[in-house]
């Protein structure tokens, strides 16, 4: 549900107060980028999609009826944008390991490396083995902790369809990650899926 502060900022933004909209943007900027990155798997693409979603939100702020939180409304705009524009630009390419940074901590280095490898494999599976129509339900629920109702509102689905798609998405992910070629990760802490690493 929308907070009183958000409602006030939205009303001011509707009346042309750019500062109020900028405050709304700053409050949700990191969330929006993370959502778009998790959906697209591409940093530059996530940045472009996030900016475009905020531009569209600014242009359509007069249509926001304050029946849900601003984040839910913004997520709907962003996910619809991804569905229409973003996924067409995403190519099936291997992960770029150089873009993923491992924190410099000497105490538990082995554990950090294993966790980093696991994250890479999870991201790879999400982006290359879970179809977008299921990914757009799985990521908001399991990685962004959205409720079924929020996802249903964003997607324009009923809750039953959200649960069905989520069940299928989890099944596809689990089947590929555990039963597929990526299960080599469990033994070697490496993802050999589709030749990412040649062993």
Does pLDDT of 103 surpass 50? no
How buried is residue 196: exposed, middle or buried, by Cβ count under 10 Å (0-12/13-18/19+)? middle
Annotate 10-79 with DSSP letters as a single string.
HHHHHTT-HHHHHHHHHHHHHHHHHHHHHHH--HHHHHHHHHHHHHHHHHTGGG--SSS-HHHHHHHHHH
Percent of the chain surpassing pLDDT 70: 72
Q: Return the number of other C-beta atoms located less than 10 Å from residue 184's C-beta.
A: 16
What band does 118 get if pLDDT is binned at 50, 70 and 90? low
The CA distance from 63 to 139, in Å, is 26
Secondary structure of the chain: what % helix, strand, coil (to 5)? 75, 0, 25
Q: Which domains does the chain have, with CATH numbers?
A: 1-91 (1.10.1740.10), 95-199 (1.10.10.10)
Average pLDDT, the chain: 77
């Amino acid at each position: 549900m929308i907070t009183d502060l958000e409602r006030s900022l939205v009303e001011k933004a509707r009346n042309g107060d750019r500062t109020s909209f900028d405050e709304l943007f700053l409050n949700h900027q990191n969330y929006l980028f993370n959502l778009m990155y998790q959906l697209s798997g591409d940093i530059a693409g996530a940045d472009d999609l996030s900016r475009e979603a905020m531009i569209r939100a600014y242009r359509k702020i007069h249509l926001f009826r304050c029946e849900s939180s601003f984040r839910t409304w913004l997520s709907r705009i962003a996910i619809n944008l991804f569905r229409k524009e973003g996924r067409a630009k995403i190519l099936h390419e291997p992960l770029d390991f150089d873009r993923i940074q491992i924190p410099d901590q000497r105490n538990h280095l082995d554990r950090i490396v294993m966790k980093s490898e696991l994250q890479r494999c999870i991201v790879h599976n999400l982006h290359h083995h879970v179809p977008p129509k299921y990914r757009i339900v799985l990521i908001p629920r399991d990685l962004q902790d959205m409720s079924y109702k929020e996802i249903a509102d964003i997607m324009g689905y009923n809750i039953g369809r959200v649960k069905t798609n989520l069940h299928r998405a989890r099944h596809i992910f689990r089947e590929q990650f555990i039963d597929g070629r990526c299960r080599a990760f469990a033994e070697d802490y490496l993802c050999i899926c589709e030749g990412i690493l040649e062993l």
